[in-house]
Homo-oligomer: A and B are copies of this chain.
Amino acid sequence: MNNDTTTPKPAAEWQLRSVYSTRLFALLAVGAVLLAISAHRSEVDKGLADSGRAIVAVVRGKPESSRVARGWLRFLSQAFPLVIASYEPIENPEEFNPDTLPAFAYRDTKYPIKDTMGDVVRYVDAVVKPIGYLTYVGGLLVQTIEIAIWGTILSVLISIPLAYFGAAGYTPNKFSYNVARAICNMNRAIPELIAALVFAVAYGQGAWAGILALGVHTSGFLGKFFADDIENAAKGPQEALASTGANKLKVLRYAVLPQVMPQFLAYGQYILERNVRSATVLGIVGAGGIGVELNERWKQFDYGHVSTILLAIFITVFILEQIAQRVRARLIGE
């Protein structure tokens, strides 16, 4: 075999390979050219130049001189203050009964309606609930989270067999491997929006159509990532258990799961959180949730409301992340 000599070669004569092959260089060169062409087609060059100008403008203390910086400032100035209160105009003041007001609510006869620039457009007579909008958003968010949880549960249930059959070393044969991987790809490729609409036609509008859409679409993600991680797990412990004659399921449970559990948890958390963000989809099929509110507020230029909703989503994401981090820390247990 190869050119091993019979007497050992002294170290000084050992053949060292260069790290970068000429093939790699050629590939890199071609890639660079293609990227350069594409950069122009995709306006990356222009975008970078604009950003550069904006940064220069800001650094020089003249943000107004850059269109980009101006746009940012304009948006940020409109995003605050957050909208916390809600109001309901009183249409028949003579019928108004102050005793039926909910807790903390009060009547404001000169409640100002402001435009996006913060200027008062007109005044109305309204019942004001000081944290009315916040509680409303909270309620929507709870609805959304519930549905997101069901979507995630469904997704996990679908993805477990996909992962098993999609993991080399566990799948029974090449065929089942390819089928599982193809289903994962397919589920990922179909936009959940379209899936939601199709399910709405089949099942009627409502939460279930949204749950199915979220579950099916994201099972493509979970299936692939679970499978990849299983394939990628350290082989030693797996071999050790497999060599005792334990079946594949048991090897997975005892040699792979302890290794990959932290990642699996992260994937699950991501899907849950992503399903919360995909709430728009739920709105489209009439399942309620935060999505429609966000969408419509945005379309109405109600940036104050939008900020409130985004902040609420951020807090949800943050809490999910905190919970997951704790469980992870336990699992990793360093």
Contacts and interface: CB of A to CB of B under 8 A. Distances in A.
A82 B299 CA distance: 34
A194 B314 CA distance: 14
Interface string A149-189: 11000000000000000000000000000000110011011
Given A185-B321, A207-B43, A314-B189, A71 B149 contact: no
B232 A263 contact: yes
A273 B232 contact: no
Contact of A206 (B43, B149, B150, B280): B43
A42 B150 contact: yes
B314 A186 contact: yes
- Which 8 residue pairs are nearest across A and B when measured between Cβ atoms? A47-B208, A71-B202, A189-B314, A43-B207, A189-B317, A42-B207, A71-B201, A38-B146
- Contact residues on A (Cβ < 8 Å of other chain), bracket: 35 or more
B263 A229 contact: yes
- Give the one of A47, A68, A70 with max B CB within 10 A: A47
Interface stretch (A20-28, A102-110, A220-228): A220-228
B146 A185 contact: no
Interface of A: 35, 38-39, 41-44, 46-47, 50-51, 54, 67-72, 74-75, 143, 146-147, 149-150, 181-182, 185-186, 188-191, 193-194, 197-198, 201-204, 206-208, 211-212, 221, 224-225, 228-229, 231-232, 234-235, 262-263, 266, 270, 273, 277, 280, 287, 294, 298, 306, 310, 313-314, 316-318, 321, 328, 332, 334
A207 B42 CA distance: 6
A75 B186 contact: no
A203 B71 CA distance: 8
A212 B150 contact: no
A41 B143 CA distance: 9
Contact of A194 (B190, B191, B225, B310): B310
B228 A263 contact: yes
B203 A68 contact: yes
Number of copies: 2
B75 A146 contact: no
Contact of A42 (B74, B211, B229, B262): B211
Given A189-B310, A189-B313, A67 B202 contact: yes
Given A75-B198, A208-B47, A188 B317 contact: yes
A190 B47 contact: no
A334 B188 contact: no
Nearest to A310: B190
Contact of A201 (B38, B74, B181): B74
Nearest to A181: B321
Given A202-B71, A203-B47, A277-B189, A298 B42 contact: no
Nearest to A325: B181
Contacts of A147: 42
A126 B54 CA distance: 50
A56 to B, nearest CB: 15
A62 to B, nearest CB: 16
A70 B201 CA distance: 9
